[in-house]
């Protein structure tokens, strides 16, 4: 099944292939096939034997081709979506960029800063942006409304941010380090974009451990303090076994007021001596619209303007370097500097 | 520009024509052309000389055909969307139904109960539902969550409903009667669906008039009390010059608790000695998602199941009869019965 | 135990006796003995054999004298507090007024409008106010803040009020009529004070009955619509077996905005997929401060200014007449007029 | 003017004298004279020539004696309230304790930890507590409800606290250090009481400075991180020129939920496209009830039980040591240990 956009008789849809058909891959395949416009899902590939076929079968997408690997798929597509495992991101991205294809790469861009630099190098040759990293929060209405309020000066200059990234529960193989690389990574990206500033240093503090986390030898919660170049102090509480819900909070303290991220709505109940609303338990519901908007935006920028404006390889590199500094601070308990290469004019 | 849905090589998109390209018509044309799936916008027609061409031009839809009238368009389409002026709805719907076409008719279905009956008669011949009325609130997430909570018995049997339908301002030609036929009409439909009950009687009460309304010889606000067959008491406050915002509220008092419609979210500000959130001023933003879901649902039911399940001609008839009773009560100040014909098995 | 206020060597405390030591009587005795200032609790009396002694004993108030009846107590006190059963209020009040004593009479002032008129007649002779009725809500901070906002024109002229008076549960001997005379009576008093207007008519509507109420042959909930002389429409929902809490709500819809009574505060919890605050279950906690302020105000007006400014016998009369009209409307299902005698200049 | 509590003919009121009649002194004098029970305001003294007389005159308290100094007043009173300037607290407290009198000392207990130790030494001789420090927040209903929820295990073990102490504006002579000694001091006391834990270390972080603070060469806001012995991480944001209001927040993150301090209530408005409540601008209103409860508690413990249970000299010492560590951290930017002497069994 596919959609075709025709303007003046000319087909305008983006031919796209997906690399990796795991959980997030499958979600994006559904989006591409049934919800988004101006895109044609040409093919998929997966390193796990038989998984691609199973996913397509489950979704009733018998017309989508299964390729043996990403390299084989490249000639048939305009763009590649990378939803493979994190360690494979860099290699797949480099294949695609070297073939001159557009790339949508789920976060993280790569697992090392070095690989991020290689990707930037590969993209540079074309003198235009070819790659977007899947930091979907920038496409969330709430964050956008918050950013607009900050930019309009509603609360004056931002001085402090206080954020929470809480999950009710994580898998048993989650580790202390993954609270940074898998959880905090979203805040690392969205917050420097939100306040249009760069990170100077980071510090990770370990509060008293939760008994649940202790059992799986993980430190949870953690408090991360990020300082920006202009001096803004960002405090993020990460807590991935908080039990009560998936809760994303962001308060920006400005010189003259505080602006806070909207909470998801629900019906309000008065029942049994309580007034209450619902907190989401499932992270997938929280940013479900943002995912749609993000990928439609990726498609439409390419189809309409032949370039990209979303989170870039440079943003992926910032995230990698900053996460590395946090992981170092986990070990040293010290303030760690965030040291970036010079920003290429290109971005 | 159009999208084509292809499954197994067979085109699955619904060919649709729009009758009426005024404000709501233009909005729906945009939805059909740029947002929704599985539909092909074949043509449009408008009784106002030149308006259809202007609208298509503004939207860059040069490929969409302009027909002289609805009858001429019928042979080329599977379905007709009626966004003409209310008085023309019945005639256009009858043309389409008699030609065996599907119909999406913006509210109201017709301006008289008699015309509604004629439409039901025309639909009956096909022994399946061909027509859906544009009561979009049923597709709003908040109302759906509220209905689900009621059906799950969270608050026990509903006993009282308290609702508000407030607009900040209306045009100068708005009248006392239009508070029923244009404003309350949405509550009339959505509330009997919400509690799955039928109206027994209505009573309109005039509170002290607002000075703004007084200037345009309109009674505003109005309080409407609807009693259902099972005895539930519904109190709706309509206030179309309330100044402060577009505010839709719905509280359902059950035997053991109250459930309330969610409010639209916004960032929360602490500023100038106040904690505050934003109330929408523009009604179009409030149910913008519901409009998309509603029309996609109309398309998908036809494409996938060859029938309809949304608000029916019978619902349009209920709305017409109930609105008539309210308008009578405006004049008599008395409780007016809501008398329906027997419900055809068909619905 | 007692307190003595001395200014310039002159004792300034009010000598007060309490008639009736039931639930509310005992509460007020505690207030008078342990919390309030400028008052000396001289004595108590109760028609129930032994109850006064038991109450004083429980509170450790061995110094307070027990009188055989109110008449015997009058010579020793400056003021009488009437917390006897409602049917006895008028007689006790008349005894006190005829002896020239100040009176604080718990609501209702009397059980018939005729008796209220007699009390007004008795008070009139002194050419100053001697009696205050125990409508404590006027002394609640929230209602006062609401009244101030209305008077300052924050929301423009009031047009509609929507109020709730919900109890989680009532005793098994509660009746359909008591929803008016015991429950609505508080709204009857506080609302005409709040908007500074007089009632024109009332109408009682019976929604679907709750199953709990049905078992005790009581109609609950009830919706009461009061119209004022200036045309304001007041809708009060009374629901005394609502199960979920003691919930007092009051929303005033003005020409340009809505002002609502504050909810009692509590800690906010995020727990088990919910965000929630507590709703009171016990009515006594809701206005506990208002009771203190009300009676201290009664005492201080007498001690300091030798007159009273709280809810008057006239307010008690309005409540009686309006409640009578509501009880009539319960029987006739019709709109019933509220017909008052001419207001004496005196009030 | 004074009140006398008489039980069984024995006078039970506490004879109290006030040292210092500045802003907070005058407020407490009003409380003692007009609101609180079981206390007799015997006299006042002030080092500022004529100020005591002026204050008594303004309050109409002609019967209260003016003493030349605290030593002269001691023989006439049971208890001394110290509301003099901070530097004089220790000396006055020592005079009173050495004379065997009860002491209510406004915060801080003393300006040096050394002086706090001297006071503890002086109190020790009596083998019972004679002194209470004026940390009124412990008497605030909200903090008490929060403490109760924690102790009942509602949210599980506390792991992180996030608090705000914001003032709209401070006087021009406020300094960077005073954000600790005058502002944070309240959190230092109330938080270790709230979670029943001791401080291990502190760290002060300077976010970007507000332009208002910069003008008066003060660092504002500041973020203070306190670690407790059990590992709880407390993050307090102090911001004394935040402009928007006096805002006290306290969120306790436990293993399974978050409990937050209630916000002060106000009427809720829907107006001009906003839904809003009021934030207090004046700190005096926020804890006005807590002040009454606190001092009444001081009086009643002495009168009824001849000892004290409120914040002790030891709590005053903890506050002094912890504030000193914070002020050090302001200078070193490092984590500073909180080193206490062994806690005397006495407390």
Nearest CA-CA distance, residue C207 and chain B, Å: 5
Per-residue model confidence (pLDDT) at position A13: 87
How many Cβ contacts (< 8 angstroms) between chains B and D? 51
Contact D267 C262 (CB under 8 A): yes
Which CATH architecture is the domain B6-137+289-318 placed in? 3-Layer(aba) Sandwich (3.40)
What tens digit of pLDDT does each residue of A258-282 get? 999 999 999 999 999 999 999 999 9
Q: Which residues of A191-210 are buried (b: 16+ CB within 10 A; e: fewer)?
A: bbbbbebebbbbbbbbbbbb
Q: Could you give the percent of chain A with pLDDT greater than 90?
A: 91
Within 8 A of D275 by CB-CB distance, chain B residues are 263, 276-279
Query: Does A235 contact D243 at a Cβ distance shorter than 8 Å?
Result: no
CB C238 within 8 A of CB C222: yes
The domain spans of chain C are 6-137+289-318, 141-281
Which chain A residues contact residue C281 at CB under 8 A?
273
Q: How many whole angstroms separate alpha carbon B330 and alpha carbon B336?
A: 10
Sheet with B39-45, side-by-side order of all strands: B65-66, B39-45, B14-19, B79-82, B102-106, B131-134
pLDDT, tens only, A14-55: 999 999 999 899 999 999 998 898 999 999 999 999 999 999
Looking at the partner chain, which of B243, B245, B274 has a beta carbon nearest the beta carbon of D279? Answer: B274
For B6, nearest residue in chain A (alpha carbons):
A1
Tell if the CB–CB gap between C279 and A281 is shorter than 8 Å. no
**Joined tokens for residue B284:** 């179009």
Mean pLDDT of B242-253: 98
Length of chain B: 347
Q: Pseudo-torsion of CA A283, A288, A289, A293, nearest 10°?
A: 110
Helix H, strand E, coil C: the string for chain D is CECCCEECCEECCEEEEEECCCHHHHHHHHHHHHHCCCEEEEEEECCCCCHHHHHHHHHCCCCCEECCCHHHHHHHCCEEEECCCHHHHHHHHHHHHHCCCEEEEECCCCCCHHHHHHHHHHHHCCCCCCEEEECHHHHCHHHHHHHHHHHCCCCCCEEEEEEEEECCCCCCCCCCCHHHHHHHHHHHHHHHHHHCCCEEEEEEECCCCCHHHHHCCCCCCEEEEEEECCCCEEEEEEECCCCCCCEEEEEEEECCEEEECCCCCCCEEEECCEEEEECCCCHHHHCHHHHHHHHHHHHHHHHHHCCCCCCCHHHHHHHHHHHHHHHHHHHHCCCEECCCCCCCCCC
Indicate which of A200, A234, A255, A274 best probes the interface with D, i.e. most D CBs within 10 Å of its own CB. Answer: A255
Q: Phi and psi of D314, rounded to 5°?
A: -60, -40
How far is residue B280's CA from residue B242's CA, in Å, rounded to a whole number?
Answer: 13
Q: What phi and psi, each to the nearest 5 degrees, are found at residue A219?
A: -90, 120
Q: Of B111-120, D31-40, D181-190, where does mean pLDDT reach its minimum?
A: D31-40
Q: What are phi and psi of D76, to 5 degrees?
A: -90, -5
Min Cα separation A77/chain D (Å): 48
CATH of domain C141-281: 3.30.360.10
How far is the alpha carbon of A242 from chain C, nearest alpha carbon, in Å?
9
Chains that touch D (3 or more CB pairs under 8 A): A, B, C
- Chain D positions in Cβ-Cβ contact with residue C266 (cut-off 8 Å): 145, 262
Would you call D221 and A160 a contact, using CB atoms and an 8 Å cutoff? yes
Q: What is the pLDDT of chain D when averaged over all its residues?
A: 94
Distance CA B141, CA D27 (A): 53
pLDDT digits (tens, 9 = 90+) for B24-43: 999 999 999 988 989 999 99
Residue of C270, C277, C280 lying closest to A244 (CB–CB): C270
The whole-angstrom separation of Cα A203 and Cα A130 is 33
Task: Pick the range with the lowest mean pLDDT from B96-100, B154-158, C343-347, D325-329.
Answer: C343-347
Whether B5 sits inside 8 A of A1 (CB atoms) is yes
Q: What is the mean pLDDT of chain C?
A: 94
Q: Which chain B residue is nearest to residue D243, measuring alpha carbons? A: B272
Rounded to a whole number, what is the distance in Å from the CA of A19 to chain B's nearest CA? Answer: 23
Please judge whether A262 and B260 are an interchain contact, meaning their C-beta atoms are less than 8 angstroms apart: no
pLDDT digits (tens, 9 = 90+) for B259-287: 999 999 999 999 999 999 999 999 889 99
Contact between chains at C237 and B253 (C-beta distance less than 8 A)? yes
Q: Residues in chain B whose beta carbon is closer than 8 A to a beta carbon of chain D?
A: 168, 243-245, 247, 263, 270-281
Residue B347 has what pLDDT? 87
Mean confidence (pLDDT) of chain A:
94
Asked if D278 lies within 8 A of B277 by C-beta distance, the reply is: no
Round to whole Å and give the CA distance between D101 and D98.
8
Spatial contact of C272 and C15, defined as CB atoms under 8 Å apart: no
Buried b (16+ CB within 10 A) or exposed e, A300-310: ebbbeeeebeb
- C-alpha distance from C15 to closest chain D C-alpha (Å): 15
Alpha-carbon distances, residue A216 vs B159, C307, D226 (angstroms): 50, 73, 27
Q: What CATH class is the domain D141-280?
A: alpha beta
Contact: A270, C279; criterion CB under 8 Å:
yes
Burial class (CB in 10 A: 0-12, 13-18, 19+), C175: middle
Q: What is the 3-state secondary structure (H, E, C) of chain C?
A: CECCCEECCEECCEEEEEECCCHHHHHHHHHHHHHCCCEEEEEEECCCCCHHHHHHHHHCCCCCEECCCHHHHHHHCCEEEECCCHHHHHHHHHHHHHCCCEEEEECCCCCCHHHHHHHHHHHHCCCCCCEEEECHHHHCHHHHHHHHHHHCCCCCCEEEEEEEEECCCCCCCCCCCHHHHHHHHHHHHHHHHHHCCCEEEEEEECCCCCHHHHHCCCCCCEEEEEEECCCCEEEEEEECCCCCCCEEEEEEEECCEEEECCCCCCCEEEECCEEEEECCCCHHHHCHHHHHHHHHHHHHHHHHHCCCCCCCHHHHHHHHHHHHHHHHHHHHCCCEECCCCCCCCCC
Find out whether A53 and A117 touch, Cβ atoms under 8 Å.
Answer: no
Cross-chain CB nearest to D208 (options A162, A212, A230): A230
- Euclidean distance between CA atoms C189 and C287, whole angstroms: 15
Residue A31 has a pLDDT of 94
Q: What is the pLDDT of residues A301-335, one digit of tens each?
A: 999 888 899 999 999 999 999 999 999 999 999 99
> Which residues of chain C fall short of a pLDDT of 50?
1-11
State whether C242 and B256 contact (CB < 8 Å).
yes
Please give the ipTM for the structure prediction: 0.93
Q: Radius of gyration over alpha carbons of chain C, in Å?
A: 21
Predicted confidence at residue D177, as pLDDT, reads 97
Nearest-CA distance from D175 to chain A in Å? 18
Closest residue in C to D256 (Cα) is C271
What number of C-beta contacts closer than 8 Å exist between A and D? Answer: 95
Beta bridge partners of D260: C268, D251
Write the residue in A3, A142, A266 that is nearest to B37 by C-beta.
A3
pLDDT of D4 strictly over 50: no
The chain D residue lying nearest B269, using CA atoms, is: D276
Q: Which of A252, A267, A270 to mutate to test the interface with B (most CBs of B within 10 A)?
A: A267
Contact B239 C257 (CB under 8 A): no
* B273–D247 CB contact, under 8 Å: no
Give the torsion through C-alpha atoms of D66, D69, D75, D80, to 10 deg.
Answer: 90
Using CA atoms, how far residue A36 sits from A2, A41, B2, D236, in Å, is 10, 10, 14, 45
User: pLDDT (tens digit, 9 = 90+) per residue, D221-263?
Assistant: 999 999 999 999 999 999 999 999 999 999 999 999 999 999 9
Q: Which residues of C touch B233 (CB under 8 A)?
A: 205-208, 223
Q: Is D267–C149 a contact, with Cβ atoms under 8 angstroms apart? A: yes
Quote the DSSP letter at residue B86: G
Q: Which of B328, B195, B327 is nearest to C207 (CA)?
A: B195
Instruction: Determine the distance in angstroms separating the CA of D246 from the nearest CA of chain C, rounded to an integer.
Output: 18
pLDDT tens, residue by residue, A176-194: 999 999 999 999 999 999 9
Closest to A264 (Cα-Cα) out of A241, A245, A238: A245
Spatial separation of the C-alpha atoms in residues D50 and A266, rounded to whole Å: 62
Dihedral of the alpha carbons of D50, D51, D56, D57, in degrees to the nearest 10: 60
Contact between residue A116 and residue A324 where contact means Cβ atoms under 8 Å apart: no
Do C225 and C235 contact (CB within 8 A), yes or no?
Answer: yes
Element (H, E) at A64: none
Which of chain D's residues have a Cβ under 8 Å away from the Cβ of A158? 208
Nearest-neighbour CA in chain B from D326: distance (Å) = 28
**CA–CA separation, D237 vs C151, rounded Å?**
38
**E strands of A261-297, at which residues?**
268-271, 274-278
- B262 phi/psi in degrees, rounded to 5: -65, 150
* Contact residues on chain C for A274, CB-CB shorter than 8 A: 244, 276-279
Contact, B256 vs C243, CB < 8 A?
Answer: yes
**Nearest by Cα to C281 from A275, B254, D261:** A275
Report the CATH superfamily, name and number, of domain D6-137+289-312: NAD(P)-binding Rossmann-like Domain (3.40.50.720)
Give the pLDDT confidence score for residue C1 in this predicted structure: 31
Q: What's the rounded Cα separation, in Å, for the pair D143 and D150?
A: 11
Which class is domain A6-136+289-318? Answer: alpha beta
- Residue A307's pLDDT is 86
Min Cα–Cα distance to chain D from B276, Å = 4
Query: Does residue B77 carry a pLDDT above 70?
Result: yes
Instruction: Please list every residue in chain D whose beta carbon sits closer than 8 Å to the beta carbon of residue B270.
Output: 244-245, 247, 279
Q: Give the pLDDT score at C10.
A: 44
Instruction: Chain A: give the shortest CA distance to residue C213, in Å.
Output: 18
Interface test with D, best of A150, A159, A191 (most D CBs within 10 A): A159
Residue D76 binned pLDDT confidence (cut-offs 50, 70, 90): very high
> Mean of the pLDDT values across residues B119-146?
96
- The whole-angstrom separation of Cα D51 and Cα D21 is 7
B/C interface, count of CB pairs below 8 Å? 96
């Amino acid at each position: 099944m596919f959609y075709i956009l025709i303007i003046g008789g000319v087909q305008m849809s983006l031919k796209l292939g997906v690399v990796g058909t795991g959980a997030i891959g499958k979600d994006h395949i559904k989006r591409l096939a049934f919800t988004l416009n101006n895109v044609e899902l040409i093919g998929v590939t997966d390193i796990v034997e038989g998984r691609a076929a199973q996913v397509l079968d489950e979704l009733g997408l018998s017309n989508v081709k299964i390729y043996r690997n990403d390299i084989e798929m490249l000639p048939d597509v305009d763009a590649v979506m990378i939803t493979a495992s994190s360690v494979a991101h860099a290699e797949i991205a480099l294949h695609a960029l070297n073939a001159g294809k557009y790339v949508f790469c789920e976060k993280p861009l790569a697992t090392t800063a070095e690989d991020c630099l290689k990707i930037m190098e590969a993209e540079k040759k074309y003198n235009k942006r070819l790659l977007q990293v899947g930091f979907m929060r920038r496409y969330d209405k709430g964050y956008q409304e918050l950013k607009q309020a900050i930019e309009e000066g509603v609360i004056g200059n931002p001085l402090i941010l206080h954020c929470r990234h809480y999950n009710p529960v994580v898998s048993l193989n989650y580790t202390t380090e993954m609270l940074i690389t898998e959880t905090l990574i979203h805040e690392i990206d969205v917050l420097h974009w939100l306040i249009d500033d760069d990170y100077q240093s980071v510090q990770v503090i370990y509060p008293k451990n939760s008994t649940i986390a202790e059992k799986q030898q993980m430190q949870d919660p953690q408090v991360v303090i990020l300082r920006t170049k202009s001096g803004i102090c960002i405090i993020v509480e990460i807590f991935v076994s908080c039990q009560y819900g998936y809760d994303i909070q962001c308060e920006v303290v400005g010189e003259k007021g505080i602006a806070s991220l909207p909470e998801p709505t629900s019906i309000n109940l008065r029942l049994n001596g309580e007034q209450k609303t619902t907190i989401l338990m499932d992270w997938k519901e929280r940013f479900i619209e943002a995912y749609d908007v993000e990928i439609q935006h990726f498609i439409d920028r390419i189809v309409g303007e032949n370039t990209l404006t979303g989170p870039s390889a440079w943003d992926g590199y910032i995230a990698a370097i900053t996460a590395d500094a946090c992981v170092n601070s986990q070990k040293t308990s010290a303030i760690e500097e965030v040291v970036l290469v010079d920003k290429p004019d290109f971005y």
